[in-house]
Structure 1
């Protein structure tokens, strides 16, 4: 599994992708139970996932990608033709979207830093990981923008800093500065840096600009350097607060924090914002990905039910 992790880091894949590829490589090896890693064994493994474990199409596709990565970038050979593999078609589902009233009620039911994170997700369209990994230096209060670094696909983009959260974000930045000064006084104040920046700029990890905006309350030692690192808030902390707010507001939609991003795009579309502008704000590579939101909004806008014409 260490070789899988090394191959992922060489290609600058995200931590979540690395964890997924490690998981599926381990599952395949356990399934084969000492047998050689051959094409027939891969087909049997993937077929069991589909026919016995009844995994979803997206999970099945993720397993396939994990297996292909193992062969191509760790074993350095092709898996071969997967003859007889039962392919699963991913269903074209319409994304879950909250109404403006539902978003307002949910945000009003949340408190503290989780509420601010949720408001930022809805107001900017950022992904959960992008918001939590936000650094102080990437927030421009004067311009009202946020620079999203190394988003999905390792791409940078510029997102909106909503006016409604600007004052709260500014107060958070001031609190973050005070916390950073206290960390420095106690011999800490380090933030984890991407790639090899710590070697290139040894003092950058203690610079205020590199600190996470949404800081964790915990400080953890780095096993490699021994530095006391203050990471960002855990996604589970915000998810739990969001699910509690769903319960309190009697919202019965199958929603997660990512639904706020769906709602951002759909509500902008309803306001008449150009679809290509929404594509850029979301950081989608292909317009087809953004077009899914037209299936949520366009079919019902301006259409009168025949029952209402009675």
Structure 2
């Protein structure tokens, strides 16, 4: 196999393989604009790496462009219409550059999360500061590559951070500005093999002693069901099945749904918390604030659903707030900082000298499940991992083939 700049250059590529790849993305739910980006990336690989003009992918790119236009009913690279901007902008920062405001609108059209929007905007602003201009249309892949290299060399960022920066810049240049980018030649951040932080069973007991009320319930659900912190905060009343003792996690990481345990220890406290949610729900309906956030325009499909308790958050905020996107005043779920603050306090009071975060409870769930004899595939499904390799990261060196492993010094001293 021949190599150039560390890349294999004889990877076969033909029109049929590109079409099949695009069809596989379609089966996995990728919209036309994402499939268009993938094919353009292959075209760039053909031009820059293979240095060939065949296969001709013009017709494939044209077809995907038309499909993208049909999905949006606009030009795939055209900025949103005035009507779309009015519906989607919400309370945008009018002091931001036009490209960033347009990017915010595009992200909302495509149902990106608020966290992703904040991250993308942050990276685009940082890139603008790096190049010294908000007129992004004048820059190209070389400027992006220089920026990514600076992050890796001078900023010493992690690979995931650099990838996030690259994704945000690819989005704004290709989907907002409409500029076709070539190969990004950048120094990549070095990937490190890190072990997640988890707690022993005795440490879990010590931590739990310092939690009360709804935060205690969140602790039981995150650790007992393997939920992510955000998934726990976003639970709705309809997601709990007491009869079959399971929780349905809706729209988890990767926009995937899954089913996991409903811990027995959490049942009584969960029922009390739902009664609290019911109290706030009835008060909001009575005072004319019945609406609640519903994804993917479900509020239009089910206009009366907001008046039903089933759609309300199990962990509602104590105060109403105005949504930054829609401008509607409603009661959202509690914020991330509340449980995080309580967790840090419990960690300090327990005198546990570990760099733990709420997500460490999820790591502990997976570790203890595997230590208890659960098979990898089961844990993978409960955790919602796409790749089993992620789950295998929780198989720590504690036991091997049922034989306890000891340190050599312990064996020597024991003799």
TM-score range, shorter chain: over 0.9
Contact 2:124 2:168 in 1 (8 A): yes
Which position in structure 1 is the counterpart of 2:353?
Answer: 252
Quick one: distance in 1 between partners of 2:179 and 2:382? 39
List alignment gaps of at least 5 residues for structure 1.
Answer: none
Q: Answer yes or no: is 1:112 the counterpart of 2:213.
A: yes
1:94 is matched with 195
Q: Secondary structure at the match of 2:103?
A: helix
- The alpha-carbon deviation at position 296 of structure 1 amounts to 5.4
Report the equivalent of 1:239.
340
Aligned to 1:206: 307
* Shift, 1:222, TM fit: 4.7
Counterpart selection for 2:171 from 31, 48, 69:
69
Closer/same/farther in 2, CA of residues 224 and 239 from structure 1, 3 Å limit: closer
Q: Relative to 1, partners in 2 of residues 1:224 and 1:131: Cα closer, same or farther, differing over 3 Å? A: closer
Structure 2: distance between partners of 1:236 and 1:135: 19
SS state of the match for residue 95, structure 1? coil
For 1:29 and 1:246, locate their aligned partners in 2 and report how far apart those are by CA, in whole Å: 40
Give the distance between the partners of 1:308 and 1:297, measured in 2 at CA.
15
Deviation digits for residues 94-129 of structure 1, max 9, x if unmatched? Answer: 111111111111111112212211221000001111
Residues of 1 paired with 2:322 and 2:117: CA distance? 22
| Aligned equivalent of 2:109 | 10
Runs of 4+ displaced beyond 6 Å: 223-226
- For residues 326 and 172 of structure 2, the distance between their equivalents in structure 1, rounded to whole angstroms, comes to 30
Pair 227,29 (structure 1): closer, same or farther in 2 beyond 3 Å: closer
Q: Does 1:308 align with 2:407?
A: no
1:135-146 aligned at under 5 Å gives the runs: 135-146=236-247
Higher relative CO (Cα under 8 Å, sequence separation at least 6) belongs to 1
Q: Which is higher, the Rg of structure 1 or of structure 2?
A: 2
Give the Cα–Cα distance (whole angstroms) in 2 for the partners of residues 128 and 301 of structure 1.
35
Displacement of 1:301 = 6.8
Residues 96 and 259 of structure 1 are in contact (CA less than 8 Å); yes or no, is this contact kept in structure 2? yes
Contact between 1:266 and 1:297, CA under 8 Å: does it hold in 2?
A: no
Q: CA deviation at 1:63?
A: 1.1
- Matching residue of 1:157: 258
The answer to whether the aligner puts 1:54 opposite 2:153 as a matched pair is no
TM-score, normalised to structure 1, is 0.93
Counterparts in 2 of 1:82 and 1:91: CA distance versus 1, 3 Å: same
- Cα RMSD, aligned residues only: 1.9
Q: 1:301 to 1:86 in 2, by over 3 A?
A: farther
TM superposition score normalised by structure 2: 0.71
CA separation of 1:23/1:225 partners in 2, compared to 1, >3 Å: closer, same or farther?
closer
Q: 1:20-42: per-residue Cα shift (whole Å, max 9, x none)?
A: 11111121122212362212211
1:22 aligns with 2:96: no
Distance 2:392 2:323 in 1: 43
Contact 2:162 2:189 survives alignment (8 Å):
yes
CA deviations over 1:102-161 (Å, ceiling 9, x no partner): 111111111221221122100000111111010001111111111111111111111111
Give the direction of change, closer, same or farther, for the CA distance of 1:296–1:32 in structure 2 (3 Å limit): farther
| Aligned position for 1:40 | 142
Q: Is the 8 A contact 2:398 2:405 kept in 1?
A: no
| DSSP-derived class of the 1:159 partner | strand
